Amino acid sequence: MNKYSVLVVDDEEKICKIVRIFLNLSPKIGNVVIAKDAIEAMLKLNNQEFDLIIVDKSMPNKTGLEFIENLRKSLKHSSTKVLLISGCLTKDDTLIAMKLGVKDILVKPFNRQRLMEKVSLLINLSSNS
């Protein structure tokens, strides 16, 4: 049975770690990799494929939206599922995200339940394959 692999990108390392622990509790998720910025994330993407990328909107240097834009430009990742997390949502950001094929946004602060709800909308986490 194939397990999902997830990439978590957030400049707040503690959030990455907490999200990783929550994701690993699901039997259907086999591999969680974390990155603290867009550059590290791109490196990880070169090495392996991911079923889902969870990325924070507000990051220094390259923002989450810029990262996703780059992602969409490459063939390999043009349709990878993306969950955007954000501390403050503006109308403009939402429109851009939607244009970039982001189907859902998770607003901070969030708890485990909300996180897993949104994740399962993007990748099937139910126990029957």
Judged by CB under 8 A, does residue 91 bind other proteins? no
Judged by CB under 8 A, does residue 88 bind other proteins? yes
CA dist., res. 76 & res. 46, Å (int)? 10
Of residues 31, 58, 63, 70, which one binds other proteins by CB under 8 A?
58
**Interface region with other proteins, contact rule CB under 8 A, candidates 15-23, 28-36, 41-49, 116-124:** 15-23
Judged by CB under 8 A, does residue 12 bind other proteins? yes
CA distances from 27 to 39, 109, 125 (A): 29, 25, 8
**Interface region with other proteins, contact rule CB under 8 A, candidates 16-24, 26-34, 92-100, 119-127:** 16-24
Judged by CB under 8 A, does residue 18 bind other proteins? yes
Contacts for 92-100: CB closer than 8 Å, 24+ residues apart: 93/57, 93/65, 96/65, 97/65, 97/68, 100/65, 100/68, 100/69, 100/72
- Segment (H or E) for 41: helix 38-47
Summarize as ranges the residues that interact with other proteins (CB under 8 A): 12, 14-15, 18-19, 21-22, 25, 58, 87-88, 107-112
